[in-house]
Each structure stands twice: as C-alpha cells, then as structure tokens.
Amino acid sequence: MRGRAKRGGFVIAVVSAAVVGACTAPPPPDGPVPSPAGTSGRTCAPAAVRSCALPYPSDQWTVADRSTPTGLRLDLPADLIPASVQSALGPGAHLEDVQAGADGFSAVGPVVFELDRPVDAASLPADGGDVVRVFDRATGEPVPLRVELTLDSIRQGAPDTIVMAWPQVRWEPGRTYVARLADGLSGPQGAPGRPAGMDDTAGVGGSFISSVRADLARIEGDRWDTTLEATRFTVRSTRTATATMDRIVAAARAADHPVRNLTVGPAPLTPSGSAVVRGEVQLSDFRDADGVVRADRPPVGTWVPFVMVLPARPAGPDGAPVVVYGHGLTAAKETLLVVAEANAVHGMATIGIDVPNHGDRQAGEGGYLLDITTPGTLGRLVSMPLQGEVDTVSLFRAITAHMADLDLAGPGATGWNAPDGRPDLDTARLLYQGTSMGGVLGAASITQIPELDGAYLQVPGSGIADILYHSQLWPLFAGVVPWGASAGDAAALRGLATLLLDPAENSYLVDRLRDGAPPLFVQYGVGDGVVPNFSTERLAVLADLPLVGPEISPLSLDLRRSGADAVPADGRGIAQVYPLHSSTEMSAFMAHLSFAEPAADVVLDQWLTNRSRALGLGAG
C-alpha cells in the first residue's frame, strides 16, 4: 500500500496541498469530539469521529437471528455510508450485497479507527503495543496484530488519521472480539481527541458502548479514561462464508464440461514437449449480466479457450499426468510456460485457462481486468476470484470426463505430427500449480477437488483484500473507491469489501488441508512487494505447513520446522527463496518473480520428483 500511483502533476499538486494543509491547519479544538450524527442526521457509531461507519467493524450493526451459527446476522443501516458515495457503486457492491447471508464480519478484515487529527507513525507500534489491542471476548486473550496508519488516506486529503489493525493470521470464525484504541498517539497538532459518544451512555448506541466498556474492564481492568475509541465485533461463521462456494461448486461438479475445436501444433518453447494443444472447454458460469456471481442462479455453459503442452515422453504407460496451471494477476494462460518445461521433463502435461477478465476472456465479460477497477464495476471485480476458482473445478471435471481418451500426438519433439494410438493423458493422476493470483485462488480451488494428488503454489497468500491493499499493485485498483469519499468512509468501504470477497477467500478453507489431502507445497520470495510475505506465512499457518530448508529471512509467524532441506516425503511444506538477481531498488518486485530463480527451480524439481514417486511413477 505504500506504493502509490503518481498520475501527473495534477495529482502531485493535490497530494502536496493535502499534506501541507494537514500540517499547517489549526489544531481541532480541545475537548470531546462531537459525533457526526449531529450534523449529518445519519445513523452513526457511538464512537464516530467523522465517518458514521467507524470504528469498524461493530456488532451494533447486527441483530439476533437464531437460524445462524453465531446467532446474529448483519443489519447495516442504509445510511451508514453517505448516499453520494453509495450511488457510485454498481450492482453487486451495495450494502445489501455486503451483508447478504453474513452472520458476522470477515475473518481477514481490518479493525478501523478514525482520528480527529494526524499523528506521527512513529508513535504507533507496528504490533499495536498497548495503543491498539484486540481481545477474544470469551477468553480475554490478546490477538497478535499488524497495525498501521494507512497511507491511503492521503488520497482523501486526511493523511495519518486512519488506524488499521489486521490479524496476523485471522479472527477465528464464530468468535467475538473487543478492540480498543488507547492514549499514546501524538502528532504535530497534539494528541487525538476522544469522541463524545464514548461517555454518552444515554444516547443512541449508549447501551452498546456501555457493554463494550464492561467487556474491556473484565479483560484488562477499568482503563476507560485512557481509551479513545472501542468496538466489539463477531466474526462470521465458516458455514456462511463458504456457503456460496459450496453451492456453486456442487453445481459445477454435477455439470458436464465437454471440450471442442481441438488443434495440435509444435511446442518450440518447451524443449521436452511434443505438442501444444489448443481448444475450448465449457465451464459453468454463475455470473449475471453485470458479472456478479449469484449462488441461486443456474449456471450457464460458457466456452473458454484452453492451451495444453504435452510432454515428449509421458511419465507412465497410461499417458502423462495432468497439471492444471493457474496464472497471475494481469497475466494469461500462456504463462504456463514458466512451469511447462519442468513438468514435461517429468513426463507431465500442463493445461491452463484464463481467469475472467484476463487473456481471451475479455469480450462479453466487461473487458480487461484494469477496465473494471471502478466503483461502478466493483461487483464484477470482486466476483472474478470466485468464478475463477470454480472454473478450475470445472476444468478438472472436463479433464477426467472428456480428455481421458485423447490421442493427438506421439512421442518425441515431432510428436505433434501424428497420434500414436495411445492415450496422451493419464487423467487418474492430477496435480495443480499456480503462480501469484493463481496461487491465491488455487489455494481455495484445491480444497474442492478430492481427486487431486498434490498442489504447488508459487508466491501465493491468504487474505485477498489484505494482500491487495498492501501490494505494489494497489494503485492500479485504488480507483474502486468512489471519488469524494472521505478518508473514514473510504476506509470503511475497504473494510466492507472484505465481506464481498469472503466467498472466494481461501482463509476459510485451507485449514481443510491440515490432514494432508491434497498435499500442498508453497514457494515464496523474501521481501515480496506484490504478495507480501505476511500473507504467504498466514497461508502456511492455516494449512499447518512446515518450513523446509533454511530460514533466509526471519518469519513473521511461528511456523514449525521440517528439519530437512528437501521436500518431505508427504509433499507438504513452505520454502523461502531470495531474489539474488535484483537491484536493491527492484528487490520487492523481483522477489515476486522469485519462482524464476535457480534456487526455486531446484525446489520445483524436488516437488515434481516427490509427486512422481507418490504417484507410483518412479523419480519422474
């Protein structure tokens, strides 16, 4: 998130003016900060400063519902976000979409506090210290945090006024947490003020804030006089978070996924390949005309191009095991070439399709990815990951049901000239590989494919929104926040967006991999600025993956160690790779390309050898 787009002199001038204005403006008056409800007439959180939606999240915006696992459901006020901001949001991104089916808030969303004046980042500990604390309401245990002054607020002309606290791993589904911001922050205009609503127990929301005070007193003693802001929130259950995924995956697995229009050509970019096969596969599309996934919508069969590289020498007598490849953000299916040669050396075929709004999937789908990074197309944008994850499930079904008898090429580099009377593919042996976005989405997909024999993810992570907000790529997506939104409302929208992304979020799913089925291995680059290391290590913790090989850079989370330098026999683990081929200035970006490092090639080869043996094919 620290990387921000510099869009010409106009933007620089606006940002400079905002910074100078923030530094030279007179300080806010001393005393309690009045609630914005008094001037807006809208429903506001009791501890609100400027945005009625903050602090976020808040159980004040829930109602009792005995039909849900948490006993609650979200009931966000219609005027929580200003109408002028909401009107800019298109289909699939309104408050009713945010709260649909949710019995709590996202497990990987932020806690957000707003300040009435800017503060120095140096006064805010990176782990929250004693300034920001979040406690499990039932146990009183503090949650390890990553805390920041979000630099994105400079876009709204209010730098250093938004505090965000993220869970290092996740807020546990179904649990309730109490969060507070205490004294300790300082800045050029003095210490931030305390919202008047914190002591207004008779006002709107007074009973809620009183109960939060009681919770905190029970957990850490009565420190209310030094508490600036506080909130309490319940995390949605895994059942409601995965309900859409479970429903549409079941429909996709039950549907037929034929292939057609097959063509065969040489594989000049894959020395160990015999042929490149192109064709189309029918996928189950659950999106409506606006590109928004609707779980209750019958799927539409949609033909999508695929590309596949066949090996010159299949790994076994039944043909080549099949590896499905998931490509990265802004890339396309043809980038499967980064793994196709390594796979072909081991006698494996590699096949890939485009994620929606990438490669050949633009016409009729809203255009290219960066064309839909607007408020009006946010619903389509947040549906893209979920549809992409289910597409992978559909592709695996197509492989097993319609590609087992394919005979399009023979052995050797010239095998594309003619078939040889033997099946090209061994569709009983299936693997998945994904890079970057293909790893993030793939981590969810592989939990839905019981036939899978293993997965290898390069530079993946957990927490889609958390990754994106802290990625060097965020400036490409920041335009989804409506123009004119205040810093507080923009931060609240970024929090609410995590609920829209929850149906595609692997953080609710990868703990299913803890029993080793399918075995998962992860490779990531030290200092990655595109998919930050904290998100990759979060994935490893949730899936209980051991660190394999040396700890090149200190881990942010406590991972268990395998005690070995090579891929373990069970095919599970996580390995670090250092971006040696990089300048200091480019190291964060080049770390994301660490899969191209020779050290990463060694790890991938070890994993392929490991899986070949596990599949009964020798060393590959």
- pLDDT in the model for residue 619: 63
Distance of CA 142 to the CA centre of its chain: 24
In this predicted structure, the answer to whether residue 612 has a pLDDT above a threshold of 60 is: yes
The structure tokens listed for 281 are: 């596969």
Tokens representing 109 are 């969303």
Q: Produce one character per residue of 414-433: b if its CB has 16 or more CB atoms within 10 Å, e if not.
A: ebbeebeeebbbbbebbbbb
Amino acid at 443: A
By mean pLDDT, which of 92-106, 363-377, 403-417, 579-593 is the weakest? Answer: 579-593
Residue 22 reports pLDDT greater than 90 = no
User: Is residue 338 very low, low, confident or very high in pLDDT (cuts 50, 70, 90)?
Assistant: very high
Following DSSP, what letter does each residue of 413-450 receive, concatenated?
A: TTGGG---SS-SEEEEEEEEEEETHHHHHHHHHGGG-T
Q: What is the mean pLDDT of the chain?
A: 93
Q: Could you report the per-residue pLDDT of 143-201, keeping only the tens digit for each?
A: 999 999 998 888 888 899 999 999 999 999 999 999 999 999 999 999 999 999 998 87
Tell me what the mean pLDDT of segment 124-137 comes to.
Answer: 98
The model's pLDDT over 600-610, given as tens digits with 9 standing for 90+, comes to 999 999 999 99
Q: Cβ atoms within 10 A of the Cβ of 526, count?
A: 16
- The predicted structure's pLDDT at residue 11: 38
Candidates 2.60.40.10, 1.20.1560.10, 3.40.50.1970, 2.60.40.1220; correct CATH number of 8-236? 2.60.40.1220
Q: Which H or E run includes 533?
A: helix 533-543
Residues 463-512 have pLDDT tens digits of: 999 999 999 999 999 999 999 999 999 999 999 999 999 999 999 999 99
Distance (Å, whole) CA 83 – CA 77: 12
Residue 29: its pLDDT value, please?
62
Can you give the residue ranges of every domain in the chain?
Answer: 8-236, 304-463+505-614
Could you tell me how far CA 57 lies from the centroid of its own chain? 19
For residue 554, pLDDT beyond 50: yes
Lowest mean pLDDT among 44-48, 168-172, 421-425: 44-48
List, for residues 302-328, the tens digit of each pLDDT value: 999 999 999 999 999 999 999 999 999
Buried b / exposed e across 258-297, counting CB within 10 Å, b at 16+?
Answer: ebeeeebebbeebebbbbbbebbbbbbbbbbebbbbebee
Confidence of residue 77 (pLDDT cuts 50, 70, 90): very high
Q: Is the pLDDT of residue 4 over 90?
A: no
> So what's the pLDDT on residue 26?
56
pLDDT of amino acid 41? 74
> Which pLDDT value is given to residue 591?
95
Tell me the two tokens of residue 553. Answer: 């850079």
Average pLDDT over residues 74-103: 97
In the numeric block, which tokens belong to residue 252?
């996709």
Question: In this model, does residue 526 exceed pLDDT 70?
Answer: yes
At the top level of CATH, the class of 304-463+505-614 is alpha beta
pTM: 0.93
